[in-house]
Amino acid sequence: MSNRRPEVAAPWSSAGLLPNATAILRPGDTAPVLLQVRDVTQRYGAARALDGLSLAVRRGETLGLLGPNGAGKTTLMHLMAGVLAPTGGTVLLDGRGSPSSPATRRRIGIAPQDLALYTELTAEENLRFFARLYGLRGRALSLAVERALALAELTARRHHRVHTFSGGMQRRLNLACAVVHGPDLVLLDEPTVGVDPQSRGHVFDSLERLKALGHTLVYSTHYMEEAERLCDRIAVIDHGRLLACGTLHELVRRHGGGHRVRARLTRHPDDVSSGTIVGDEQEWVLPDAAQATELALKLGSSASSLAVRPPDLETVFFTLTGRSLRD
């Protein structure tokens, strides 16, 4: 059990599932900045988990954090949540409050990568515990717990102890505990990791609901297709530094590389130069879709397999962070 959740107090109102969410604003460059991370450094002894990283989270947006293991994603989330104070630099909510101050913390919820649940308690007891920690009492607390149980689709299992839950159910409850107090900013550190596809889909649906309700989300994941679907902007970090940040379209345009054509040839057409050998296939990288299609048409009658792949988030990720393995 970690004690990383902030001690905050924020009452539910009667309207909406997560009533502290402010009006839904269209995210984009014009939305005001909700959380500003400025030149933060985090040292552990001689090692730097974060190394002069700056990043703005805009109100109403879903910002994805992508990076290999050890990139600094969890450390960044902990600074954003105020459970860790940076060795250098500043983190400010609405340009004023530090997330480590109690008044600001109440507006932030975090679903930690390492589950923060009391496994000997029931689902409802966990939610009641965190809701009390955030300062809720009486009817407001009961209402908050009901809504969080409904969000996680755990109402039927409310009286069951958490140690009887599957990994997916525990992830769902972890998410529910992060939002029980209706925070403006919800930080989700790999919320879909290590769960079965059904629970993953369910957690993902919950994230879409939170987003639709106007919450600002910061969301780290290793699943590129989730980030592509959910995030308004994506930040790629590695070695504690921000490598790129932008919309999917911007990242693909700047860092996606070319369109790849891959073929297993039965004979080599005369009018095509050799590609790079990849196993028993050849690969060509073309600058645009038209040229890739033209090449594919030339290869078509000589290929036993043929694939054209436009640049996507995965190619962006590998272009920026390389292919060497991380532990």
Ligand X SMILES: Nc1ncnc2c1ncn2[C@@H]1O[C@H](COP(=O)(O)OP(=O)(O)O)[C@@H](O)[C@H]1O
**Measured from the CB of residue 72, what is the shortest distance to Mg ion in angstroms?**
8
User: Among ligand X, Mg ion, none, what does residue 44 contact (CB within 5–8 Å per kind)?
Assistant: ligand X
Whats the size of the chain, residue-wise? 327
What strands lie across the sheet with 108-111, from one edge to the other?
Answer: 108-111, 185-189, 216-220, 62-66, 233-238, 241-246
By C-beta, is 270 or 327 nearer to ligand X? 327
**Measured from the CB of residue 191, what is the shortest distance to Mg ion in angstroms?**
12
**Measured from the CB of residue 83, what is the shortest distance to ligand X in angstroms?**
12
Asked whether 53 and 240 are in contact (CB, 8 A), the reply is yes
Among 2, 13, 69, 305, binds ligand X (CB under 6 A): 69
Distance CA 6, CA 178 (A): 10
By C-beta, is 27 or 112 nearer to ligand X? 112
User: What are the residues whose beta carbons fall under 8 Å from the beta carbon of 229, sequence distance 6 or more?
Assistant: 204
Based on the shown chain and the rule CB under 6 A, indicate whether residue 74 belongs to the binding site for ligand X: yes
- List of long-range contacts for 202-205, beta carbons under 8 Å, 24+ apart: 202/153, 202/168, 202/172, 203/168, 203/171, 203/172, 203/175, 204/229, 204/230
By C-beta, is 113 or 321 nearer to Mg ion? 113
Residues 97-136 close enough to bind Mg ion by CB under 5 A: 113
Among 72, 109, 191, 311, binds ligand X (CB under 6 A): 72
Query: Backbone dihedral region of 134: left (phi > 0), alpha (psi from -120 to 50 degrees) or beta?
Result: alpha
Take residue 125 and report the two structure tokens written for it: 């007891």
Based on the shown chain and the rule CB under 6 A, indicate whether residue 52 belongs to the binding site for ligand X: no
98 to 48, 79, 91: CA distances (angstroms): 22, 10, 6
Based on the shown chain and the rule CB under 6 A, indicate whether residue 49 belongs to the binding site for ligand X: yes
**Measured from the CB of residue 117, what is the shortest distance to Mg ion in angstroms?**
18
Based on the shown chain and the rule CB under 6 A, indicate whether residue 3 belongs to the binding site for ligand X: no
| Residue 144, number of CB atoms within 10 A of its CB | 25
Based on the shown chain and the rule CB under 5 A, indicate whether residue 74 belongs to the binding site for Mg ion: yes
Tell me which DSSP letter residue 180 carries: T
By C-beta, is 13 or 69 nearer to ligand X? 69
Take residue 131 and report the two structure tokens written for it: 């809701």
**Measured from the CB of residue 46, what is the shortest distance to ligand X in angstroms?**
10
Sequence-ordered alpha helix ranges (H) in 108-257: 123-133, 138-151, 167-179, 197-212, 224-230, 248-255
**Measured from the CB of residue 220, what is the shortest distance to Mg ion in angstroms?**
7
By C-beta, is 66 or 252 nearer to ligand X? 66
**Measured from the CB of residue 192, what is the shortest distance to ligand X in angstroms?**
15
Based on the shown chain and the rule CB under 6 A, indicate whether residue 73 belongs to the binding site for ligand X: yes
Based on the shown chain and the rule CB under 6 A, indicate whether residue 214 belongs to the binding site for ligand X: no
Among 71, 141, 231, 242, binds ligand X (CB under 6 A): 71
Which chain residues interact with ligand X by CB under 6 A?
44, 47, 49, 67, 69-75
Which chain residues interact with Mg ion by CB under 5 A?
73-74, 113
